[in-house]
């Protein structure tokens, strides 16, 4: 026969367990439970408050960090006519500048600009572009221009492949870019340049903004117009306040860093003595050395790039006339 346990009631009405040990454990837990319940809500509130404050600070930080800026197209005057362009989905701010903030951007009429130069086009013939976020306060007359990086193409095949990607066509690029790092508007992360006029130059020529030629094969054309793209963008920015700049920093990374070397002196000459111009090439110096295979593939690569894209006529003449560098002999 199955045994059964009976529970007697205490004066308080609570059941008493038959085993003194179990009874003591049961009562001690019941006695401790109310204290834990009283302490836990306070601790939970404190922890939740700390977490909430942290998330709120991070969210506020990200809102500022996630500054997004709309694309400005410098229309191709050669193929579409000055001042004309096919409508695209860009944004115009209240001040007329092509700027788009990430917080509830408004879909206003697009911003289009005529190119002052003929054939200032990307590899595929699409017009060049840049992103501009206006400066303010003490930085209103200071400009930071940043070349976008992205490698190179040095033969017809690689350039044809590149023309069908965002590295060779503004048609395939993102029309809104996040400005972070040196382009950020967050003082805590970009204390030196957060309130400057900041420009990102989109890279679509495959030659570090330096070529000036084209390749034709029947009806197919590859345009190597990096130098004209640079000239067209600078001409447009001069009309938007760059001509009155007090300080200008030209920068770029990798292929953009190489472009910084190419155009530093010419930008200084174009802006004149009233403007202080500095240049920052980030990882833009490529050594003329043999690699682990024992070959100087870097020299071969750039030699074919210079030949294909017609770069030599746009390079610094003093550098080309120097006899100190063996690879120029």
> Residue 194 pLDDT > 60, yes or no?
yes
Q: Please check whether residue 249 lies inside any domain of the structure.
A: yes
Mean pLDDT value across residues 63-73: 79
The confidence score (pLDDT) of residue 75 equals: 72
The residue among 38 and 244 whose pLDDT is bigger is 244
Q: What is the pLDDT of residues 242-296, one digit of tens each?
A: 999 999 999 999 999 999 999 999 999 999 999 999 999 999 999 889 999 999 9
Region for 117 from its dihedrals, namely left if φ exceeds 0, alpha if ψ lies in -120 to 50, beta otherwise: beta
Mean pLDDT value across residues 77-88: 36
Q: Please check whether residue 276 lies inside any domain of the structure.
A: yes
Tokens of 180: 């972070």
The range of the structural domain enclosing residue 301 comes to 67-328
Q: Please check whether residue 37 lies inside any domain of the structure.
A: no
Question: Residue 318 — very low, low, confident or very high, per pLDDT cuts 50/70/90?
Answer: confident
The confidence score (pLDDT) of residue 327 equals: 53
> Residue 228 pLDDT > 90, yes or no?
yes
Q: Please check whether residue 234 lies inside any domain of the structure.
A: yes
What's the CA gap between 283 and 299, in Å, rounded? 17
Q: What is the pLDDT of residues 211-225, one digit of tens each?
A: 999 999 998 999 999
Q: Please check whether residue 170 lies inside any domain of the structure.
A: yes
What's the CA gap between 326 and 329, in Å, rounded? 5
Q: Please check whether residue 83 lies inside any domain of the structure.
A: yes
What is the length of the chain? 329
Number of domains present in the structure of the chain: 1
Which of 135-144, 151-160, 292-301 has the lowest average pLDDT? 292-301
Tokens of 12: 């308080």
The confidence score (pLDDT) of residue 107 equals: 33
Which of 96-105, 128-137, 158-167 has the lowest average pLDDT? 96-105
Q: Please check whether residue 46 lies inside any domain of the structure.
A: no
Continuous H helices in the chain: 20-65, 77-80, 156-163, 226-238, 255-271, 297-309, 317-321
- Angstrom distances, CA of residue 21 to CA of 11, 27, 246: 19, 10, 86
315 burial via Cβ count (<10 Å: 0-12, 13-18, 19+): middle
Q: Please check whether residue 36 lies inside any domain of the structure.
A: no
């Amino acid at each position: 026969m199955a045994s059964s346990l009976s529970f007697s009631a205490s004066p308080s009405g609570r059941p008493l367990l038959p085993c003194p040990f179990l009874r003591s454990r049961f009562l001690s837990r019941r006695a401790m439970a109310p204290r834990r319940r009283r302490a836990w809500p306070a601790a939970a509130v404190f922890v939740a408050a700390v977490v909430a404050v942290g998330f709120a600070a991070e969210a506020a930080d990200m809102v500022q960090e996630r500054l997004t800026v709309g694309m400005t197209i410098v229309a191709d005057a050669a193929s579409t006519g000055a001042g004309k362009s096919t409508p695209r989905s860009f944004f115009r701010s209240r001040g007329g500048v092509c700027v788009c903030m990430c917080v509830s951007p408004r879909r206003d009429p697009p911003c289009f600009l005529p190119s002052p130069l003929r054939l200032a086009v990307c590899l595929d013939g699409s017009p060049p572009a840049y992103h501009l976020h206006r400066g303010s306060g003490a930085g209103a007359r200071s400009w930071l221009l940043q070349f976008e990086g992205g490698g190179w193409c040095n033969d017809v095949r690689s350039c044809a492949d590149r023309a069908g990607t965002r590295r060779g066509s503004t048609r395939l690029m993102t029309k809104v870019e996040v400005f972070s790092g040196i382009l950020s508007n967050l003082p805590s992360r970009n204390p030196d340049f957060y309130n400057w006029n900041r420009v990102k130059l989109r890279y679509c020529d495959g030659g570090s903004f330096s070529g000036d030629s084209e390749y034709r094969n029947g009806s197919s054309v590859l345009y190597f117009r990096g130098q004209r793209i640079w000239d067209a963008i600078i001409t447009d920015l001069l009309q938007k306040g760059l001509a009155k700049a007090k300080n200008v920093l030209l920068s770029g990374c990798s292929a953009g860093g190489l472009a910084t070397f190419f155009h530093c002196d010419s930008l200084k000459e174009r802006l004149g003595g009233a403007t202080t111009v500095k240049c920052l090439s980030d990882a833009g110096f490529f050594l003329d050395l043999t690699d682990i295979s024992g070959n100087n593939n870097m020299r071969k690569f750039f030699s074919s790039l210079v030949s294909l894209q017609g770069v030599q006529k746009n390079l610094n003449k003093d550098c080309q006339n120097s006899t100190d560098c063996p690879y120029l002999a």
